Every structure is written in C-alpha cells, then in structure tokens.
Homo-oligomer: A and B are copies of this chain.
Amino acid sequence: MLEKIDLTKKLEKQSYREKMEALELELGRLQRECHAYKIPVMIVLEGFGASGKGVQIGKLIQALDPRGFRVHAITGETEEEQKYPFIRRFWIKTPENGKIAIYDTSWYRRVLADRFSGNTEKEELEDSYAAICSFEEQLTAGGTVMIKLFLAIDQKEQKKRFEKLLESKETAWRVSREDWEKNEKYDSYVRMIEEALQRTDTDYAPWTIVEATDRRFATVKIYTTVIEALKEAVAEKKAEAGREISQETEETETWENRELEESVLAKVDLTKSYTEKEYHKKKKKLQKKIRKLHGELYRRQIPVIIGFEGWDAGGKGGAIKRLTEKMDPRGFTVNTTAAPNDYEKAHHYLWRFWKNVPKKGHVAVYDRTWYGRVMVERIEGFCTKKEWQRAFKEINDMEAQFVQSGAIVLKFWMQIDKEEQRKRFEERQKNPEKQWKITEEDWRNRDKWDAYEEAVNEMLIRTSTPEAPWVIVEGNCKYYARIKVLEAVIEAIEKRLESR
C-alpha cells in the first residue's frame, strides 16, 4: 500500500489557509454531531519516525472542543502493563460514546516498533494480528468509527529530519538509536509495515496513507479523511433515526478529496517512447529471453498470473500479443474478461476467476480482471458501495492466496491520456478492420473519465502489494509500452528464480 504513493505532493500556503478555514469549521461541527449521536471515534496516527505525528495531532485538535477528546501517547509497555494481555491497555483506553480518542502510535506498535526491536517474538505475531483484528472488529461492530492514518516519508527525508533534530540540544533527545536503525534498515522496516497494513486494511477499519513530506498537505489530507469518516457515520445515524440528511451535509459531500488523491496517474510521464527500430531490436531480445524463462518456470512448476487493466484503447491487446507471441502455447492461456454471463452472474463475483487460476508451471494472462469490481461495477452502480469497499480486501486476500501457493502475480495498468484515446478511437472508426473494436459504449465510458480516474487511483493504492504489485505502463507510445511489459515480466520471473 506504500508502493504507489507520491511523496512529492504539496500545498501552497495560500491554498492551505483557505482550505483549513473551512475544514476546521466543518470538523468542529461534526464533533458536536458525533457527540449528539453518541458516536465514539478512534483516530490512530501511525507512521515513520519524524513523519510529524505529534505536529499533526496538534493541528487536528485545534478544531476540537477540548472537553470532547483525549490524546493517548502510546509508548512501550510499562512493567505493570506487561502483566496483562497486550491488547488490554488499549481496551481500557477506548473512548466512551460521543467522545474522540486520538492515538499517537497505537496497538500497531506490537507488529511494528516492538516487532522491529525484537520485543514481539515471532511466535507471538499471529496471535497479535488476531487480537488486533478482533479488537477493531468488535469495536466497530459496536458502533465505533475507526480512522487509521499512516504518515509516510521516504528514507532520505527521514534522515534529513533526524539530522535537523540533532542540530539542537532541545530536540536531539527525540532521535533514538532505534530510530537510526529503522532509517538504516528502511527497506526491511517497510516490509513489516506493508504486511501490517495489508493484514489490517478491512472494510470496517481501513487505512489511509498520508503523504507527509509536506506538512500542509498532510494536515489537509488528515482533516479531509477524518471529516469524511465522521460525516458518513453521522449520516448513517440520521438515516437510522429516519431523518432526512440535512442539505448542509449534502452540499459539502465531495470536498477536496479528489484533488488530494489524483496524482498516481497524473504523474505518469507519457512522453516516454522508443523508435520503431529500437523497439524491434529490444523486442526480439526480450521475447527470446521470455521463451527461455517460460520453460524454466515449467520445470520449476511455478504458476504466473498476469493481469491487464487500462483505459479503453490503452494497448492491452497489443501488449498481450507481444508478451505471449514466442511462448510455448501449451504453457499459457489468455483469459478475456467481459461482462459476466448469466451463469457467472449466478455466482460470487470472484468465482469465475478462481475457476481460471493457472495450475503450477503455467502462465495465465487476463485481459481485464477481477478489478472490474472496483472500476466499472463501482462506477456503474452494479454493486453497492459496501460491496466495492469490501472488495479491496477480498481481492488482496485472493492474490495473497495465489502467492502463498507459489505463484508470481503481476498487474499492469496501461495508461494513456484523454487526447491519445480520442485519436485512437477515431482511428478505429476510420479503419474498417478495426471498427469492431469501437462501440457507443466506449464513447460513453470516455465521458466518465474523471470518475474512472478517481476509482483507478484508489485501486492502485489499496491493492499494490510487494508480492502482487501494480506496474503502471506509460502507454502513449505503443512501442514503449510493449517493451516495458516484457521487461517487467522478465524481471519478476528472474527475481523469483533467483530467490528460491
């Protein structure tokens, strides 16, 4: 979940001030509503050392009535606390109905800091995750709103901040030996974090990653996240009470969240390209290599799952063709995922994909995938909001099971811009041999570009995991895109073959 985030995001002072004025008022109002409806709220701030958790809590409480919240700064267990089950100290710090509890680090210490330092032993890990999930599930089932924020900065930024803290005597004490160790072993700490985020990113208590390089950006994102969660909880309570949702709430519904989230796709550099000559030379070499690796996969009985998603006319078909062209046809299948037929509709939405899982040693390529649930089904309303929200974890769980059974899992997002899509659509309409590829529906989908962009962005962030990563392919130049796909597949296979 940390893979696809963009840590360069920032916000100018002027824009920040304007936004904050409205956000603070809104949060204050929502706190009063939560109090009136007796909704307990838990806000968890986790994140890298020096990512600014303390500062952000300071900003957050500015908008709150001090009688209604409490900040819990969580440190290592005291000797007294060690005499109890570890989750007890958090149970007793749960807020009463209508109150807000804010946690500066939390029960996640158990699977993060305490695990890193060796205080949580390996054989305690499973029980710890079970206790954490049980804790969050029980509380949210009982009506608590659980907001979990993870503040991210990169290794370099963290080092810079540590060094700055060390410059002054007044702040130097805040950087511990362990902090440095985590900075040095940043990658291995990130692996722990990824595992923790994935295993606990549930529909009842989802994580939000906060890009925290720019303090102002982070503050606005935190406010926005908290506000949206509270708004939803209040709306539900009102609906339960049978009352109309007030106009006021409706109006502010969409907020700035889109603006905050847009960038995974926006940052893709679509000018990347190869000449025809470069392309052919590279292609030849790579296809030869993949043919060899394909045989090796079969000998080692490793299954491979490769999903393709992307904009209409994004180049999925062409990339799949070049990927599989020289492979032994007995060893791969290409599965095309269209709208489910009646028989498929009569089953769980993941059923048809379970049916097509490749067996050991085989490669399965999917032209469109199970991610339809969180794109077209979400946008067209073919499933409920609850259903697509739940789907992120369901899909992550499924892919994790593929990985556990030994599979290599890769997902490609074929990115083009709107202008390029228009060109390709028009070309298809002019060319009699390609006319079948373009329908009225393609044009209609194009009108929903922004909605798709928002959905895709959330999908990329929530479902890119170290074991089953998304690869974003710069697709305006088809040559470039096809080579990138070949290279990524080869890299993933080689990595696996080396490691086991």
A residues in contact (CB < 8 Å) with B:
38, 40, 80, 82-88, 91-92, 94, 96-98, 126-127, 130-131, 134, 138-139, 141-142, 144, 301, 303, 343, 346-351, 354-355, 357, 359-361, 390, 394, 397-398, 401-402, 404-405
Given contacts A354-B88, A357-B84, A402-B85, contact A96 B397 (CB under 8 A): no
Which residues of the partner chain B approach A131 to less than 8 Å between Cβ atoms?
401, 404
Contact call B359/A80, Cβ cutoff below 8 A: yes
Ranked nearest first, the 9 interchain pairs of A and B with the lowest CB-CB distance are A91-B354, A83-B359, A85-B405, A96-B346, A83-B360, A97-B346, A134-B397, A142-B348, A85-B401
CA separation between A138 and B401, bound complex, in Å? 14
User: Which residues of B have CB within 8 Å of A401?
Assistant: 85, 87, 127, 131, 134
User: Taking CB as reference atom, which chain B residue is nearest A404?
Assistant: B127
Known interface pairs A84-B357, A401-B131, A404-B127. Does A348 touch B390 (Cβ–Cβ under 8 Å)? no
Known contacts A354-B91, A360-B83; A144/B348 CB under 8 A:
yes
Q: Which residues in B have their C-beta under 8 angstroms from that of A98? A: 346
Nearest-neighbor residue (CB-CB) of A199 within chain B: B130
A446 to chain B, nearest CB (A): 31
Contacts of A85 in B (CB 8 A): 357, 401-402, 404-405
CA distance A359 to B77 in the complex (A): 14
Least Cβ–Cβ distance between A419 and chain B, in angstroms? 40
CB-contact partner of A84 in B86, B87, B405, under 8 A:
B405
Residues from chain B with Cβ under 8 Å of A138 in the complex? 348, 350, 394, 397
Bound CA span A177–B348, Å: 39
User: Which of B94, B346, B402, B404 is in CB contact (< 8 Å) with A348?
Assistant: B94
CB-nearest residue of chain B to A402: B85
Residues of B contacting A94 in the complex (Cβ-Cβ under 8 angstroms): 347-348, 351
Tell me, rounded to whole Å, the shortest Cβ–Cβ distance linking A77 to chain B: 12
Query: Would you list 26 pairs from A and B whose C-beta atoms are within 8 A, ordered by A residue?
Result: A38-B346, A40-B347, A80-B359, A83-B360, A83-B361, A84-B357, A84-B359, A85-B357, A85-B402, A85-B405, A86-B405, A87-B354, A88-B354, A88-B357, A91-B350, A91-B351, A92-B354, A94-B347, A97-B346, A126-B126, A127-B404, A134-B394, A134-B398, A134-B401, A141-B390, A144-B348
